[in-house]
Amino acid sequence: MAGRVAGLMAAVGAGIVTVGAGGHMITSSFPTPKFSLKEKRFDLSTFGGRFAFMIYHTDPFSLVPRETEIKAAQQALVDYQNGTSTLSDEELWAARKLKESAMNEDTIVPEPFRMSGYVPFNGPVCVAMIVSKSTPTLLFWNWVNQSQNALVNYFNRNASSPMTNETLAMSYGGAVGAALTIAYGLSTGIKRNFAPAQAARIMTFVALPTCIAASCLNCYIVRRPEIVTGVPITDSEGNILAGGRKSNIAAGYGVNATVASRAFLQFPTFFLPPAFMALPPVAAMVAANPAIGLPLSTFLTMICFGFGLPAAIAVFPTELDVKVSDLEPEFHGLVDQDGKPIETVYFYKGL
C-alpha cells in the first residue's frame, strides 16, 4: 500500500514539475513587451498569445513564494504607479504575475483556490474522478470537484463587479446537481448492462459527460446577467460605437459561445488520458505490469490538465463579430467616421 501511495505521489509531483517547467519554456519564448498595469502580457488576438496567457497565469511555480514576497510584488507595482520603480520590464511583469496569481484586490487567496493552484490541487481530483470504479466514489469526487470550482470562483470573483451570493449558490447547486445526477445515472446503467471488467473500462469515461454538463450549466448561470445588461460593441479598430449603448443580443451570442466552449474544454482532461490508457499496446503493458497503471494514468491526466486545458481555452477567441443586421433595430444604420455603413461589429466575449 505504501508503495502505491509513493508511486501516486511521485506521478503527481512529476506532473506538476513538468507542467511548470514546460510552461516556463513556452512563456519565455515570447518577447517581453513594455510593462503596463492595464495591458495583457500576451496578445490575446492569437492562439499562441491566449495559450501563453493561460499557461502564464496557471503556473504552479507561482505557489512557491511566501506572503513576504507577495507583499513585495504588490509594493513593486505601487512604486511603478508612483513613478519610483527601478525594476526592469521583466521584473515588473513577474511582480504583476505574482500579485495577480496570489491576491484578489488586497486579500491573499488561499493556495488551493488560486488559478496557479489548479494543477497541483484540482489535477489530483480529476485523476480520482477518472479512476473511480464505484458509484459512491464517483459521486464523492464529483462533489469535491464542483465544490473546489465554486470556491475558486468565490475567491477570484471580480471585486469591481461582484457576483451575488445568490448567483454563486445557484451556480454551485446547479453544477453539483447536474454532475451527481449524470454520474449516478451513467454509473448505475453501466454496471447494470455490462460485465464487471468491461464496466470498469467504460467507467473511466463517465467523468467527461458529468463535467461537460456541470461546467456548461455553471458558466451559463454565472454569465447570464450579462445578457440582461448587454455588452458594448466596437468597430474593427476597437472604437466603441453607438455612444456606448450596449447590445443584449451580442451579449447573448457571447454567453452562448462561452457555454458551448466549456463543453470542449473537458476533452483534454477527461477523454485523452482514459482513451490513451485504453489503447491495446498500453492496456497490454499495464496488464503485464499492474503497478504502473495508476501512476501512468495520473501523470498523463496532470499533463493533459496542465497543458490541454489552456490549449482548449486558447482555441476560442476572446472577441467575436456579429452582423449589424442581427442586432437590435437601434444599431441598424451605424456608419463609420467616413459615413460608410458598418456591416460588422465586434464585442468582447472573454476567455
CA distance 230 to 341: 23
Scored b (16 or more CB within 10 A) or e, 270-301 reads bbbbbeebeeeebeeebeeeeeebbbbbbbbb
Cα 55–Cα 274–Cα 50 angle in degrees, nearest 5 = 20
Q: Looking at residues 102-125, what average pLDDT do you find? A: 89
Which residue, chain included where needed, has cell 482514459? 274
This prediction has a pTM of 0.84
From the list 117, 158, 210, the residue with the least C-alpha distance to 167 is 158
- Type of residue numbered 41: R
Integer Cα distance of 148 and 138 in angstroms: 15
Helices first, then strands: H and E counts in the chain: 16, 6
Q: Is the pLDDT of residue 1 over 60?
A: no
Residue 161 pLDDT: 54
pLDDT for the residue 94: 95
Top-confidence range, 14-28, 167-181, 202-216, 327-341 = 14-28
Whether the CB-CB separation of 241 and 334 falls below 8 Å is answered with: yes
Q: What whole-number distance in Å separates Cα of residue 219 and Cα of residue 265?
A: 12
Express as a percent the part of the chain with pLDDT over 90.
54
Residue at 17: amino acid letter: V
Which SS3 state, helix, strand or coil, does residue 335 take?
A: strand
Q: What is the mean pLDDT of the chain?
A: 89
Lowest-confidence segment of 247-256, 287-296, 338-347 by average pLDDT: 338-347
Asked whether the beta carbons of 255 and 224 are under 8 A apart, the reply is yes
pLDDT digits (tens, 9 = 90+) for 260-316: 888 888 999 999 999 999 999 999 999 999 889 899 999 999 999 999 989 988 888
Q: Which of 164-168, 237-241, 295-299 has the highest mean pLDDT?
A: 295-299
Percent composition of the chain: helix, strand, coil (DSSP 3-state, to 5): 70, 5, 25
In 3D, which of 57, 107, 60 has the Cα closest to residue 351? 57
pLDDT on residue 104: 80
Q: What confidence score (pLDDT) does residue 221 get?
A: 84
The pLDDT of residue 133 is 84
- Residue pLDDT, tens place only, 37-78: 988 999 988 999 999 999 999 999 999 999 999 999 999 999
Question: How many Cα neighbours within 13 Å face the side chain of 234?
Answer: 10
Most confidently modeled range among 130-134, 152-156, 208-212, 260-264 = 208-212
**pLDDT tens digits, 182-231:** 999 999 999 999 998 888 889 999 999 999 998 888 888 878 888 888 88
- For 55, the enclosing helix (H) or strand (E) is helix 47-57
Give the range among 163-167, 268-272, 321-325 with minimum mean pLDDT.
Answer: 163-167
